Amino acid sequence: MPRPIEARIDLAALRHNYLLARQHATRRSPAAKAWAVVKANAYGHGLLRAAAALGDVADGFALLDLDEAVALREAGIRQPILLLEGFFELADLAVCADHRLTVVVHCLEQLQLLRRALPPRCLPVYLKLNSGMNRLGLTAGQLPAVRRELATSPTPAAVTLMTHFAEADGDAGERSINWQLERFAAMTAGWADAAGWPRSLANSAAILRYPETAHDWVRPGIMLYGGSPFADQDAAGLGLQPVMTLCSRILAVQEIAVGERVGYGGTFVAQRPTRVGVVACGYADGYPRHAPGGTPIIVAGRRTQTLGRVSMDMLACDLTDLPEAGVDSPVVLWGDGLAADEVASAAGTISYELFCALARRVPVRVV
């Protein structure tokens, strides 16, 4: 038998979440379209699996890697494909043109490469403006040079303006996104507004909390996979469904007395006679090693908690109040019935990291 662990991927839930994201966007902007953000192997869910699930409903797909974009085209995807970090060298432009890709341009050097391409490569461009996140994007001081490049380069087939919000998931009563919207408006006043270029501003958090930012294209990411972008709202309350469920089984049960310890370092000390379940899942499977004892887990359909440190291939949980649970009982580490956001919060991280960390050795079953 194979080791009793698997990740179940619910493609119907993925479709539901995408359609919900687009529904939120079109309530405010009826013509808005939604990129399905499938970077990082579709947040660990499988690029081609996600594409197969969304291929007949998604307006477009957004990712980072040029090879993955080519793989989508070869898999039959005909919708627009957006490279979120654009291209990295001159040779990339021929591949982008051959496969009809849309490229983000976030620095002057990329604009200059567009002008140098021989023969000229006429590509749709997303012009990314740095409105305050200070990660990628053209600054206000660079805009005169940007305008000169655009005026002298025949290569952009179409231009869309974009930016990325740093605090859309924060308290709407504090800084939120207003300061970035103000900067974006100042940067685009006149020249860009006059051109009437489409805009793409909203990530998952903004789609849900700031519908006025929907505009022409939104970019849902974590919400596609059933994760909440907010610390103060759970995914189910937002209407999102879990796509990945990490499942395992109990390998063994230990009965320990008061004062006995569990796991490396003996960080758990029994305060009562304790039934310890040993689960076939560890940090080599993608479960966070830094998840402390007390992290929620479901065994035989009931909630309990982990005990002690996570090992490479195993972790321990408390079965003391679950007399019906024993060897071979089913376990849910996160997903259906236990939100990944809750597990991530207990581990001091975010569900994005849990999904992306799923190890190759974990079998995947499509539901």
Q: Could you list the beta-strand ranges (E) of the chain.
A: 6-9, 33-37, 60-63, 81-83, 101-105, 123-128, 156-162, 199-200, 217-218, 244-256, 261-262, 268-269, 274-279, 296-299, 302-307, 315-318, 330-334, 364-366
Q: Which uninterrupted H or E stretch holds 343?
A: helix 340-346
Amino acid residing at 353? E
Measured between alpha carbons, how far is 53 from 82 in angstroms, rounded to an integer? 18
Q: Which element (helix H / strand E) includes 257?
A: none
Catalytic hit among 18, 33, 39, 225: 39
Q: How many angstroms separate the CA atoms of 104 and 62, rounded?
A: 10
Q: Report which of 248, 249, 250, 246 is spatially closest to residue 334, judged by C-alpha positions.
A: 246
Torsional sign, CA 216, 220, 224, 227 = negative
Q: Could you tell me the two tokens for 248?
A: 């395992």
Determine whether 18 is an active site residue: no
Q: Are 288 and 347 in contact (CB under 8 A)?
A: yes
- The answer to whether 128 is a known catalytic residue is no
List the catalytic residue out of 18, 43, 225, 264: 264
**Catalytic sites, residue numbers:** 39, 264
